[in-house]
Structure 1
Amino acid sequence: MSVTAQLIGVDVGKAQLWLSVNGEPAQRCANEHSAIHEWLQSLPAPAAFALEATNDYHLALALEAHRQGHRVYLISGYRLNRYRDSIGGRAKTDAGDAQLLVRYLEREHDQLTPWTPPPKGYQSLQKLLRRRARLVRARVMLEQSLGGVTELQASLKPLIRAIQRLDTTLQRLMDKAIATAGWAAHRRRCQQIEGIGPITAAALTMAFHRGAFRSSDAFVAFLGLDVRVRDSGQKRARRRLTKQGDPELRRLLYMAALQAKSKPAWSGYYQRCLARGLACVQALNALARKLARLAFALMKNQTEYQPHIPCEQT
């Protein structure tokens, strides 16, 4: 990175942005395209931006900054919080986080990968998957909270049917988005794997097309299914998922693992995980990783799935 390039930290909110240039006190800018465009135009030269990824609220600035030739780096909130703790930070404010992002970018630049805009198909499919996730949560909440009230059943049933019709419509829109992007073959390959249904296959296909992953390890890390290790001396800490990626993708893969664990092709692997001392949730996460790696290999190599069924179960 050029020593003359400006370093800009941006704390992102729904309505406004806090921007710190080279660690100076942060200034505010409306999180609207016109205001963002005008502010970026005032910069004297291409700069390096560090943005805290916040839902979709960072996309307007990230896309416009990238379009104007600036470098953009997305920093997860978890990583920034850990960094604040490591340097003894005792206060968290929006303006302070913008300055902290400048410091993080200055010191950790060599370990960061510049952000690039996702393909159009990725953005369309991601929005549909997130909307469906909210719809599913609403349906489950209604069924759990109102299902036991006899007097409400006559009103609840048509409401649930209406939600299911909306779900069907969303799935048709997903099919259309995948076909438009030209990803139907990859989705079909994923769906051949035991336990993976059309929604999970769509999510895996979307994730695969987000970037040029070097290996299945990188793909698993993108999904947040990789394991964080924190050992010290004789102490071996409990392994936990990093959970860096989209939580909906992990939920779908976990549900796929629940289906796959009873299938002949995967039941042996699941049982071996339990025999190693893993808890049920840990074994299911391990199986979810296995499914993700296999899906990645099928899409990367453009090959068809060949299930391996143990001889004693054929």
Structure 2
Amino acid sequence: MAMPVTVSLPIIGVDVAKDELVIYHADSDQLETIPNNKTAIKKWLRALPGKVAVAIEATNIYHLVFADLAYEFDCIIYMVGGYELSHYRKGVKIRAKTDALDAKLLARYLKNEGQELRPWSPPSGLYRRLISLFRRRAAVVQARVSLKQSWANEPLLKSAITKHLKAMARLEALVEKTICDQLQAAGLKDQLKRCMQVEGIGLLTGARLITAFQRGDFRNSDAFIAFLGLDLWVSKSGQKDNRRSLSKRGDPEARRLLHNAAMSARRTAIWKDVYEGYIDKGLRTTQVLVIIARKLARVVFALLKGQDEYQPKVS
């Protein structure tokens, strides 16, 4: 991953919506709006006088076309999460939220915080395909479980809902097979087998961790843990030391799969003593499962980074 750099280029803030982009030029204090499509974006990029630094709020998917094209045109891209932007808005006491104000706020954020930010680079095609598949699978699983629970006490339509649930289960299986096919085509099947040697790590969890590993050149396991959102948020001031909590900045599906892996691992001979040791210290079950999930992620990172074979030993 790229290191933070001082932002000395002209700064532009871009608020993204499905159909349009609101763009703020900080140097000239000018706002403009263009359609959010390739033709309009390329025309806008060609008209730029030179290299610029662009702050974009990361949306679900609507920012991707602009970000990819701007990167191709040699712009320096900075992705700003909605969580960070929301709290920054409150911190600088902006009392309204409009597309124009958000574009200005993004430029202001980049200008003031640029030295702490890392320039964005496009993920690989494999990463995007796998992330999309995992999100689709999560949506199917959530919908299937919700339907099953809400229709559990409806005997009159039991046959109809059972047929529907089976179809959803087949779709879920198809997505999982497609994930495996993508890893196979990318030559990562051996990596998956290596991950699955770790207690609790199944096919989906291993595939999701491999997907995360594809996103960047992580300096160490701490950076990988932070990318997954398993790093701790510390709140301490004076004599007050609040309970730690997860930052949850990464993909929630990765954390869910790791939580399930931790639940499975705690029953194995290798991890049972670890689990019980933390329980004996007074930690709650959820806290211990988070600790084990984090340890499992670190083990998998070490295997992927060093291309080593798993040696079942917990420190």
- What is the TM-score of this pair, normalised by structure 2? 0.94
Alpha-carbon offset, residue 152 of structure 1: 2.0
For 1:202 and 1:15, how far apart are their aligned partners in 2?
34
Percent of pairs identical after alignment?
44
* One-letter amino acid matched to 2:224: F
Residue 65 of structure 1: aligned partner: 70
Q: Distance in 1 between matches of 2:79 and 2:130?
A: 21
**Equivalence for 2:19:** 15
Matched, 1:264 2:283: no
RMSD of aligned Cα (Å): 1.6
For residues 177 and 63 of structure 1, what CA distance do their matches in structure 2 show? 22
1:36-61 deviations in whole A, cap 9, x for unaligned? 11111111111111111111221111
1:301 to 2:278 alignment: no
- The 2-side partners of 1:61 and 1:259 are apart by 42
Deviates more, 1:135-144 or 1:15-24: 15-24
**Preserved contact between residue 275 and residue 292 of structure 2 (Cα < 8 Å):** yes
Instruction: After superposing the two structures, state which structure 1 stretch, 263-272 or 43-52, moved more.
Output: 263-272
Q: Greater shift after overlay, 271-280 or 10-19?
A: 271-280
2:3: which partner in 1?
Answer: none
Query: 1: distance between equivalents of 2:59 and 2:281?
Result: 38
Structure 1 match to 2:154: 149
What residue identity is the alignment partner of 1:248?
E
Structure 2 CA distance for aligned equivalents of residues 27 and 232 of structure 1: 44
Give the match's secondary structure for 1:297.
Answer: helix
Provide the C-alpha distance between the structure 2 equivalents of 1:255 and 1:289, rounded to a whole number of angstroms.
Answer: 12
TM-score (norm 1): 0.94
Distance 1:272 1:163 in 2: 41
Aligned pairs (5 A) from 1:95-106: 95-106=100-111
Which residue number in structure 2 is paired with residue 174 of structure 1?
A: 179
Match of 2:292 among 287, 294, 301: 287
Q: Cα 1:191–1:107, aligned 2, differ >3 Å: closer, same or farther?
A: same
Residue 217 of structure 1: CA displacement? 0.1
Partner of residue 30 from structure 1, selected from 31, 35, 43: 35
Q: Distance in 2 between matches of 1:267 and 1:71?
A: 48
Amino acid in structure 1 at the alignment position of 2:22: W
Q: Using the TM superposition, give the Cα deviation of residue 203 of structure 1 relative to its aligned residue in structure 2, in angstroms.
A: 0.6
Q: 1:25 to 1:96 in 2, by over 3 A?
A: farther
- Compared CA separation, residues 56 and 142, structure 1 to 2 (3 A): same
> Contact conserved, 1:25 with 1:99, CA < 8 A, in 2?
no
1:162 maps to 2:167? yes
Cα deviation, 1:47-92, whole Å, max 9, x if unaligned, reads: 1111111112211111111111111011111111222222222222
Q: How does 1:116-135 map to 2 (within 5 A)?
A: 116-135=121-140
Q: Which moved more, 1:225-234 or 1:158-167?
A: 158-167
Q: Could you say which residue in structure 2 is the equivalent of 1:247?
A: 252
- Deviating beyond 6 angstroms after TM superposition, the runs of 4 or more aligned structure 1 residues are none
Q: Is the 8 A contact 1:224 1:250 kept in 2?
A: yes
Q: List runs of 5+ in structure 2 lacking aligned partners.
A: 1-5
CA drift at 1:309: 8.2
Matched, 1:187 2:158: no
The residue type equivalent to 1:13 in the other structure is: A
The range that moved more, 87-96 or 297-306, is 87-96
**1:305–1:33 CA distance, 2 compared to 1 (3 A):** same
Q: Which runs of 5+ in 1 are unaligned?
A: none
Measure the CA separation in 2 of the matches of 1:156 and 1:27: 50
Q: Where does residue 6 of structure 1 map in the other structure?
A: 10
